[in-house]
Amino acid sequence: MHTRLSILALCLLGNTLFAQDSLLSKSDIVKLDFSILTAKRNKLASKDTALVPAYDQLLSDADKLLSFQPVSVMDKTGIPPSGDKHDYMSIAPYFWPDPSKPDGLPYINKDGQVNPEVRQYQDKQNWPKLCENVYMLALAYYFSHDEKYARHASKLLRVWFLDPATKMNPNLNYAQAVKGVTPGRAAGLIDSRFLIWAIDAIDLLQNSTSWTAQNQKEIKNWFATFLGWLQTNTIGIDELNAKNNHGVWYDAQCLSMALFLDSTALADKIVTRAADRLDKQMDSTGLFPLELTRTTSLHYSVFILNAFYVVAQLSDQTHTNLWTVKTASGKSLQKASEAILPYITNKKEWPGPQIHPFNFQDAVPLLLRAQTHYGCSSCPPAIKTIDGTQYKILLFNLL
């Protein structure tokens, strides 16, 4: 199925249900570059009128989020196999009851087709929503210095991660379960990638009186335990060994946590590993064969690059700059970016399978950073086309 410009209007009208949604498919959720963030805040302080619409919209959105009530793993109605609701649980999105079996078990795979049962396990919806909301609130605090945003973000973080009555246990033993097959699996670790943006939010709250030194200590302990689980549990090790986008997202998560915990040696190791993945997973054209086999192949081709871009952004804090790495076989993130850009800027039709309309907003983080790091001249007009009349007020103008 070819992707044509005509589907752009469709994907802006509503979000297709994907297991690997961006944060609510918002085009302005981007891994933060804190040097850019500081420069934009200074420009706002100097009355840069070009940034005012996005700033005003950020505060308007954040004001609405002040009414968002805390969510936690205790909200789900289902009970994990452990019997402890503090354990996160979700079910595999692309697995459905077997119609040939009276009880539907074991479930069978339908790639790219999301079983609506996933909505019955609220953890999978609440966690990304929480991470997005604290990200937005923390940014509002960072730019405005208004403590009300930090106060609410801090409350949301404490309920999910720290409060004894509601906190999530730092493991993913029961993520993306397949009924009749397994109570949890390595692929479920894709659910926790949203923590990357929660860590950004925590970093932005450091000067807030609402986020205490004790809060910081406790949440670092939570992340240290979770990172340890990721690196030693068989589920985490299986995900480490994944040869597709899952392995890259695993690296992106671990790198974000390693840097948050000041584990610089581990961070260096992870970036080197990610460069090796780039070398092995990318083909000579700059695309990723395992993503091309998916029924939503453009979506997954963008999805894996979003993960590599997160690693590259974080690599600025290590001894290896993934933005500029060129592997022994000639692979590079720039080459991968140049390969996908014609398809996400509508200069070429996508030749692979795409059973659902591609959500072009998922590509905005790529377009934004390709402009910064690779001088992509076609990226700004592509973003304007995707976001239309909303362009000036979107948050990415501040990022």
Give the pLDDT of residue 27: 55
321 with 255, same domain: the answer is yes
44 with 187, same domain: the answer is yes
Q: List 109's β-bridge partners, or say none.
A: 95
225 with 255, same domain: the answer is no
Per-residue pLDDT tens digits for 185-227: 999 999 999 999 999 999 999 999 999 999 999 999 999 999 9
CA distances to 47, 160, 269 from 263, rounded to whole Å, are 39, 24, 10
Q: Could you tell me if residue 350 is inside a domain?
A: yes
226 with 252, same domain: the answer is no
Q: Could you tell me if residue 26 is inside a domain?
A: no
What distance separates the 2 farthest-apart alpha carbons in the chain? 68
Per-residue pLDDT tens digits for 232-272: 999 999 999 999 999 999 999 999 999 999 999 999 999 99
CB 387 within 8 A of CB 380: no
Q: Could you tell me if residue 250 is inside a domain?
A: yes
9 with 85, same domain: the answer is no
121 with 147, same domain: the answer is yes
Map tokens 């802006």 to a residue.
12
Per-residue pLDDT tens digits for 355-378: 999 999 999 999 999 999 999 999
The lowest-confidence range among 25-39, 155-169, 283-297 is 25-39
The band of 11, judged by pLDDT with boundaries at 50, 70 and 90, is: very low
Q: What is the spatial distance between Cα 126 and Cα 168, in angstroms, rounded to a whole number?
A: 12
Q: List 96's β-bridge partners, or say none.
A: 108
106 with 76, same domain: the answer is yes
Give the pLDDT of residue 170: 98
13 with 36, same domain: the answer is no
Count CB-CB contacts under 10 A for residue 79: 11
Question: pTM higher than 0.75, yes or no?
Answer: yes
Q: Could you tell me if residue 396 is inside a domain?
A: no
Give the pLDDT of residue 20: 45
10 with 131, same domain: the answer is no
CA-CA-CA-CA torsion sign (151, 156, 160, 166): positive
Q: Could you tell me if residue 148 is inside a domain?
A: yes
Average pLDDT over residues 95-120: 94
Give the pLDDT of residue 10: 28
Counting Cβ atoms within 10 Å, is residue 338 exposed (0-12), middle (13-18) or buried (19+)? middle
Domain count for the chain = 2
Give the pLDDT of residue 5: 33
Average pLDDT over residues 63-77: 96
Tell how many helices (H) and how many strands (E) occur in the chain: 15, 4
Give the pLDDT of residue 112: 92
CB 112 within 8 A of CB 356: yes
Across the chain, what does the average pLDDT equal?
A: 92
69 with 154, same domain: the answer is yes
Give the pLDDT of residue 28: 64
Q: List 354's β-bridge partners, or say none.
A: 296
Q: Could you tell me if residue 392 is inside a domain?
A: no
Q: List the domain range (segments joined by +) for residue 353.
A: 1-19+243-387
193 with 294, same domain: the answer is no
Q: Could you tell me if residue 24 is inside a domain?
A: no
Token readout for 242 is: 């994944």
- Name residue 300's amino acid: Y
67 with 113, same domain: the answer is yes
Q: Could you tell me if residue 399 is inside a domain?
A: no
- Give the residue, 386 or 311, on which the prediction is more confident: 311
Give the pLDDT of residue 118: 87
Here the CATH number for the domain that contains residue 163 is 1.50.10.100
Give the pLDDT of residue 107: 97
